[in-house]
């Protein structure tokens, strides 16, 4: 694990899982808001006990970042009980749609949506989670034709391994050995942005040889934190590999995939989790990511950073090594 890198966006609170968006020429960052907790650490991530969200804004990636205060609290979400994990937000026709995962009283992650008039919130949640959604880490691609695609999913604590074809069975588990790895889920959003327009489908990630990545390929297989950006007409899916602490990416010619594995976006940071977003601002690309440097390595107390990201002439992403920043 490495330490160092760029300065934290803010130091007065711990934040993670940054989804960066540009509205009206201003950068907005939608992160998780980490808190300290006595909950014992486990592989299900119970120690990630977040209760609310704050939104940051930046006039420029060089900073400073302004904290706009609490935008949504779990107590105001009728269906949610705990663990407000990685969110995202997009704007359509003047309304900002804020997507977030949280656990119900039954302990199952669902994905909700809340709306507001301003990018910084506050956001008013819908009374029920989005029908047909489950697991964690929602991320929305606003495509050039006006359609929006919702990606989500994460294995282990993110519970994706409990589902097959959108159906939950507690007996389901992560595929093993040579079986194909699970991919994130994707569905086009309905015009109201609060429902799926279609059943979700699995996003398949292929090795360049054409074979699906295998479940035992821990250096490349999808774990959590899907993000899709579009550059020069190509769709780029990037994701965390979880227990090997990489952000990898693949490309496709459409939002559903299959995506073909291309390489590493970000090498391991300080802390167990790694999460990110990729956004274009004033003609340059930026990678927002988190690490645990501010808390001295405590995985559930993270901080968000940003660095410029480069695509080469062939569209390949140049790997970011936090130790070299
Ligand atoms: O922040 C809680 C979870 O940790 C996120 O949902 C995952 O992506 C990982 O960063």
Q: Looking at residue 298, what is its pLDDT? A: 95
Tell me the CA–centroid distance for residue 48 and ligand 1, in Å.
8
Ligand 1 neighbours, Cβ below 6 Å, are 16-17, 32, 48, 85-86, 136-137, 154, 224-225, 273, 275
State pLDDT tens for residues 119-167: 999 999 999 999 999 999 999 999 999 999 999 999 999 999 999 999 9
* pTM for the whole structure: 0.97
Q: Looking at residue 4, what is its pLDDT? A: 55
* Any domain includes 263: no
Distance CA 48, CA 45 (A): 6
Q: Looking at residue 1, what is its pLDDT? A: 39
Distance CA 86, CA 33 (A): 9
Q: Please name the residue whose Cα sits nearest to atom 2 of ligand 1.
A: 85
* Contacting residues for 169 by C-beta, under 8 A, at least 6 apart: 162, 163
**H/E run at residue 140:** strand 139-142
* Any domain includes 112: yes
Distance CA 261, CA 287 (A): 19
Q: Looking at residue 3, what is its pLDDT? A: 46
* Contacting residues for 36 by C-beta, under 8 A, at least 6 apart: 300, 301
State pLDDT tens for residues 173-207: 999 989 999 999 999 999 999 999 999 999 999 99
Could you give the ipTM of this predicted complex?
0.97
* Any domain includes 108: yes
| Mean pLDDT computed over every residue of the chain | 97
Instruction: State in Å, rounded, how far the first CA of the chain is from the last one.
Output: 14
Full residue range of the structural domain in which residue 106 is found:
14-167+182-196+275-324
We report the CATH number of the domain holding residue 79 as 2.115.10.20
The domain tally of the chain equals 1
Q: Looking at residue 42, what is its pLDDT? A: 84
Sheet holding 247-252, edge to edge: 205-206, 259-266, 247-252, 234-240, 224-231
> Is the pLDDT confidence value at 275 over 90?
yes
**In the chain, what percentage of residues exceed pLDDT 70?**
98
């Amino acid at each position: 694990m490495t330490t160092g890198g760029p300065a934290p966006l803010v130091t007065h609170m711990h934040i993670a899982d940054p989804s960066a968006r540009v509205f009206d020429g201003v950068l907005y960052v939608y992160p998780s808001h980490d808190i300290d907790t006595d909950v014992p650490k486990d592989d299900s991530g119970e120690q990630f006990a977040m209760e609310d969200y704050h939104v940051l804004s930046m006039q420029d990636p060089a900073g400073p970042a302004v904290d706009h205060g609490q935008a949504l609290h779990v107590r105001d979400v009728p269906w949610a009980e705990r663990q407000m994990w990685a969110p995202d937000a997009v704007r359509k026709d003047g309304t900002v749609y804020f997507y977030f995962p949280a656990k119900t009283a039954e302990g199952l992650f669902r994905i909700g949506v809340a709306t507001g008039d301003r990018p910084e919130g506050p956001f008013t949640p819908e009374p029920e989670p989005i029908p047909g959604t489950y697991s964690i880490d929602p991320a929305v691609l606003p495509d050039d034709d006006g359609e929006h695609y919702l990606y989500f999913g994460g294995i282990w604590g993110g519970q994706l391994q409990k589902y097959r074809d959108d159906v939950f069975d507690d007996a389901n588990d992560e595929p093993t050995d040579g079986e194909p790895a699970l991919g994130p889920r994707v569905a086009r959003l309905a015009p109201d942005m609060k429902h799926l327009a279609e059943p979700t489908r699995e996003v398949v990630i292929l090795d360049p040889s054409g074979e699906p990545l295998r479940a035992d390929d821990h250096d490349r297989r999808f774990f959590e934190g899907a993000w899709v950006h579009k550059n020069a007409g190509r769709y780029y899916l990037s994701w965390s590999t979880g227990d090997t602490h990489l952000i990898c990416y693949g490309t496709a010619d459409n939002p559903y995939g299959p995506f073909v594995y291309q390489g590493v976006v970000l090498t391991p940071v300080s802390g167990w989790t790694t999460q990110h977003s990729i956004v274009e601002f004033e003609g340059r690309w930026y990678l927002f990511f988190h690490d645990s440097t501010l808390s001295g390595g405590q995985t559930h107390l993270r901080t968000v950073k940003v660095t410029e990201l480069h695509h080469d002439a062939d569209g390949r992403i140049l790997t970011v090594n936090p130790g070299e920043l």
